[in-house]
Chains A and B, each alone.
Chain A
Amino acid sequence: MNKKINSSDLAEMLVENYGFDKKLANNFVKEFQKTIVDGLEKDKIVKINGLGTFKLTLIAERKSVNVQTGEAIIIPQHYKVTFVADNSVKTLLNTPVTPGAIDPLKKMAEQANEINDILKDFNNNNSSDSTNKDNTTDSNSPKDTEKPEDNTQTTEQEKEKTEEPNIEIKNIPTTKSYKWLIWTSLICLLLMIGGGVYYLYSDEINRFFQKEQITEQVVIEEPAPTKPTEEPEPSETSVFQQEIDYSETLTTETIRKGTRLAYFATQYYGHPDFWIYIYEANKDIIKDPSNVLIGTQIKIPKLPAELIDATNENAINFAISLAEKRN
């Protein structure tokens, strides 16, 4: 259970499971520990994501007693390496609640994979005789029995499993081919029906699409003439063209530390880009809108609702363009 792995084993694993270059893997493991050692010496702490943190801590000198002679001794101050595992590793270690119970499951999965491979081989060599098949399974089964040394139960299961595939082999490929036939024929049928429908009704379909285009054009044309008739005075275009009236004020505010014009704009108008109106109303007091002196009293102008509609893109764009003009 408690197998020990040294650095060369680790390098081998990297080569086999992660496709490392052999030379690189050896070098990597070697330099990995070297850099940790050197890093500890330099900074007294090395953090590695996915593994944990190594730390050098200084242990102060303390009095102790020699256990064998009873002599009082002083343990000199020294460094000690402490290690705290990364959270990801901690959770990984604790996710399988009982590791013993999951191991056989993994073994089963491995066996299933092996059987799958064997099945594939059989499918490839379908032309060969059935006697050959029996021979190959026999040669495979002793290999399987060697692998799990601990529990004999699983080996028995394996034997049962290796015998099963002989029966299944003949069924699987045939059902698969049937499924393919059905699917392809269905798709062909659908395509034929679609083509036929299109051929028969192509004229009507074309007319339908043309109609839609016409209706769309109509929709686009409609809004322009209706709007001015409905609301002649405060319509959007007129508001933007009009000279903005800053005479009416909602309230007055004093600039505090950390407040900007954009802050008041969001508070009163609902969007930071409307700060330009506040600046325009207080032009005589404020010289630089991006750097207002603390303590200055500013007026928040009362504006028509269309102008400060935060949901309307036009209003926002208008405010931005105004601000750009001032610059």
Chain B
Amino acid sequence: MNNKDFQKELAQRLSLTQKEVANYLADFTACMAECFTKGESITFSKLGTLSPRKKVARTTTLPNSQEKITVPEKTVLTFKTAVSYKEKLNQINHE
């Protein structure tokens, strides 16, 4: 399901046009990105939690030249599946 399909599906469920949904979705993602930059994590109860996580700067050695380089610190967006959704997923497999 790519972005377009997703928009289509959402538009159908909300009974809006796809163009409107595209605009709302852009605002929505912008809103979420703003939260992430503030260091806040977002929880969707049925899906899971999206949270920005800071990775500390570290030094590594290149395996081929033994050169030491420093990897700068960065923040990454991580996702943790909600427990309820995990159980649901496990059930799918058992059937």
Contact = CB atoms under 8 A, between A and B. Distances in A.
Contacts of B9: 35, 38-39
A45 B24 contact: no
B78 interface: yes
B29 A28 contact: no
A81 B37 contact: no
Interface string B41-79: 111111111111000000000000000000000111111
A49 B29 CA distance: 8
Nearest to A93: B75
Contact of B1 (A6, A47, A85): A47
Interface in A105-153: none
B79 A50 contact: no
A100 B32 CA distance: 19
B5 interface: yes
Given A50-B29, A50-B33, A2 B40 contact: yes
Interface in A71-104: 76-83, 85, 88-90, 92-94, 96, 99
A27 B43 CA distance: 16
Identify the interface centre among A5, A27, A96: most chain B CB within 10 Å of its CB. Answer: A5
A10 interface: yes
Contacts of B14: 24, 27-28, 31
B13 A31 contact: yes
Contact of B37 (A27, A41, A93): A93
A79 B93 contact: yes
Interface of A: 1-7, 10, 13-14, 17-18, 20, 24, 27-29, 31-39, 41-43, 45-52, 54, 56, 76-83, 85, 88-90, 92-94, 96, 99
Given A2-B40, A36-B6, A79-B89, 4 more contacts: A3-B38, A5-B40, A7-B44, A93-B74
Which 9 interchain pairs have the tightest Cβ spacing? A83-B79, A50-B29, A85-B77, A33-B44, A39-B1, A43-B1, A93-B75, A18-B27, A3-B40
